[in-house]
Amino acid sequence: MQKKKIATKSSPIIKSSSNRAQPLLDAAAKLFAKKGYNETTMRDISSEVGMLPGSLYYHFKSKQEILLAVYGQAVNDLKTRLESTIASQEDPWGKLELATMTHLEAILDHNNFARVMIGVLPDKAPEIQHELTTLRDGYETIFVDIINSLPLKNDVDKKLLRLMIMGAINSTQTWYHMGDTEPKEIGREFIRYIRESTEG
Amino acid sequence: MQKKKIATKSSPIIKSSSNRAQPLLDAAAKLFAKKGYNETTMRDISSEVGMLPGSLYYHFKSKQEILLAVYGQAVNDLKTRLESTIASQEDPWGKLELATMTHLEAILDHNNFARVMIGVLPDKAPEIQHELTTLRDGYETIFVDIINSLPLKNDVDKKLLRLMIMGAINSTQTWYHMGDTEPKEIGREFIRYIRESTEG
DNA sequence: ATCGTTACCAAACAACTGCTTGTTTTTATT
DNA sequence: AATAAAAACAAGCAGTTGTTTGGTAACGAT
């Protein structure tokens, strides 16, 4: 017989996770986004949340699991926000523009989780590379779908076009500084520089 | 064939450097390109060239200096090759296409030095960040000049267009696998996806 | 009151990092 | 053959890394 659990109070559906697990992830995301994954130490993270290094291991069983959690949360948040944003648009090009602008706002305006998902490449944590890539792909699906629905000249390679756009978008993180052109504006321009050449 | 040996031990232009300094840089470039700068240890490099770790310090006084040397060599090689390639072209758009194709060939076909200059961002070595950025900028000048000479619609932001193109180009390193579309072809397409929209 | 779980601290560990030091071998020039 | 410089070795140092272990205070439920 299995032990029957009478749920009195807590809901153990998701692990344990106290109220301090989230601040911990926030701190990790902030540091990963600023310095990179390998350049951030467990001591960095612990001191950011006001804990001792060893205490982190009560909440997560390894540094890799922290990165995985950050990635997961980034995908969830961004995907949801993006889908609800483009839902209002009918026109595929409009959708692409909206998606690009929203994505750029996320990675350029202090959304540390999004910045980590985009900026920390899966191969920086080889042992969980596959999981990270899967999460990333789950997000990129949005752009795949949008671009596949685009009316294009038939000599335009949709996959190559998508990789070009994503590459341009994601590399903004390396040069953008607060005070530059607004993220929204950058997104609008990027799409404009491509549309007339490829639309069919 | 015959080795040209001049009695006078000349070549004080660059430091000392024996014949093993270059293989050492080759090994470093290979490892930096494959695993990243911080993820590559002095022991990795030394074992790749068949030396003991300490012996590296006869040729370079620090790990950072190795990275600096790789960067420098990458800029020299690539800039020279690129300039002589585009010299034959008169048309600015033709120049841009040629430059893009040549650049892509370099970073996608085993040119480890080019891959390091593009893939290892200056902030990964904070203490020499400024020197690395300067070297990078010296290379990007080529693209700045080409794009400035492009006949564009007057509502096209040249700087933004350049950053878009460079971003798209340089991020190919994260998804390209040997056996995909030829680097040249990728470059040709990228420019094609932009030209009609921006040309004026 | 007792118990078990939660959430942390305190201290350390083994492995790894870039780098230094003193010594030996190799090479080239006389 | 002698000599000095160039090039590499052998060993280790001090600091950092992710992680482990054992303990303990707090607190709600029994």
User: What pLDDT is recorded for position A15?
Assistant: 46
Could you tell me the pLDDT band of residue A159, with boundaries at 50, 70 and 90?
Answer: very high
The verdict on pTM exceeding 0.85 is: yes
**Which residues 41-60 of A interface with strand D at a CB distance below 7 A?**
41-43, 53-54, 56-57
pLDDT greater than 90 at residue A4 = no
Are A164 and B193 a contacting pair at CB < 8 A? yes
User: What pLDDT is recorded for position B15?
Assistant: 44
Tell me: the pLDDT tens digits for B40-55? 999 999 999 999 999 9
Are A160 and B181 a contacting pair at CB < 8 A? yes
* B175 vs A contacts (CB less than 8 Å): 163
pLDDT greater than 60 at residue A166 = yes
CA distance B131 to B192: 34
DSSP state string for A174-190: HH--TTSS-HHHHHHHH
User: What pLDDT is recorded for position A19?
Assistant: 82
Of A39, A121, A174, Cβ closest to residue B174 = A121
Are A193 and B161 a contacting pair at CB < 8 A? yes
Are B168 and A168 a contacting pair at CB < 8 A? yes
pLDDT greater than 50 at residue A21 = yes
* Nearest C-alpha in A relative to B175: A163
User: What pLDDT is recorded for position B17?
Assistant: 56
Closest CA to B29 of B105, B92, B137, B119: B119
DSSP state string for B26-62: HHHHHHHHHH-STT--HHHHHHHHT--GGGHHHH-SS
Could you tell me the pLDDT band of residue B19, with boundaries at 50, 70 and 90?
Answer: confident
Are B167 and A168 a contacting pair at CB < 8 A? yes
Structure tokens at B82: 């690129």
pLDDT greater than 50 at residue A5 = no
Q: Determine phi and psi for B81, rounding to 5 degrees.
A: -60, -40
Closest CA to A33 of A129, A127, A106: A106
Could you tell me the pLDDT band of residue B110, with boundaries at 50, 70 and 90?
Answer: confident
pLDDT greater than 80 at residue B14 = no
% of chain A with per-residue pLDDT over 70: 91
* Nearest C-alpha in B relative to A182: B160
pLDDT greater than 80 at residue A16 = no
Nearest-Cα distance to chain B for A29, in Å, is 18
Contact A34, A41 (CB under 8 A): no
Half-sphere exposure of B98 (CA within 13 A, CB side): 17
Tell me: the pLDDT tens digits for A75-87? 999 999 999 999 9
Compute CA distances B198 → A100, B30, B147, whole Å. Answer: 19, 38, 11
**A151 beta carbon to strand D: under 7 Å:** no
**Candidates B97, B170, B174, B191, partner chain A, best to mutate (most A CBs within 10 A):** B174
Could you tell me the pLDDT band of residue A17, with boundaries at 50, 70 and 90?
Answer: low
Tell me: the pLDDT tens digits for A39-59? 999 999 999 999 999 999 999
Contact B134, B55 (CB under 8 A): no
Mean pLDDT of A100-111: 96
Contact B147, B96 (CB under 8 A): yes
pLDDT greater than 80 at residue B124 = yes
DSSP letter for A199, please: B
For residue B55, the Cα-to-chain-centroid distance in whole angstroms is: 27
Nearest-Cα distance to chain A for B7, in Å, is 49
Compute CA distances B103 → B80, B139, B183, B188, whole Å. Answer: 12, 11, 9, 12
User: What pLDDT is recorded for position A72?
Assistant: 98
Strands (E), chain B: none
Nearest-Cα distance to chain A for B198, in Å, is 6
pLDDT greater than 70 at residue A9 = no
Bases in strand D with any atom closer than 7 Å to a protein CB: 6-12, 16-22, 28-30
Tell me: the pLDDT tens digits for A116-137? 999 999 999 999 999 999 999 9
pLDDT greater than 90 at residue B12 = no
Using C1' positions and the CA of A21, the closest nucleotide is C7
Q: Which helix (H) or strand (E) holds A35?
A: helix A21-35
Using C1' positions and the CA of A10, the closest nucleotide is D28
Straight-line distance from CA A60 to C1' D13, in Å?
34
Could you tell me the pLDDT band of residue A110, with boundaries at 50, 70 and 90?
Answer: confident
Tell me: the pLDDT tens digits for B74-84? 999 999 999 99
Angle between helices B63-86 and B129-148 (to 10 degrees): 10
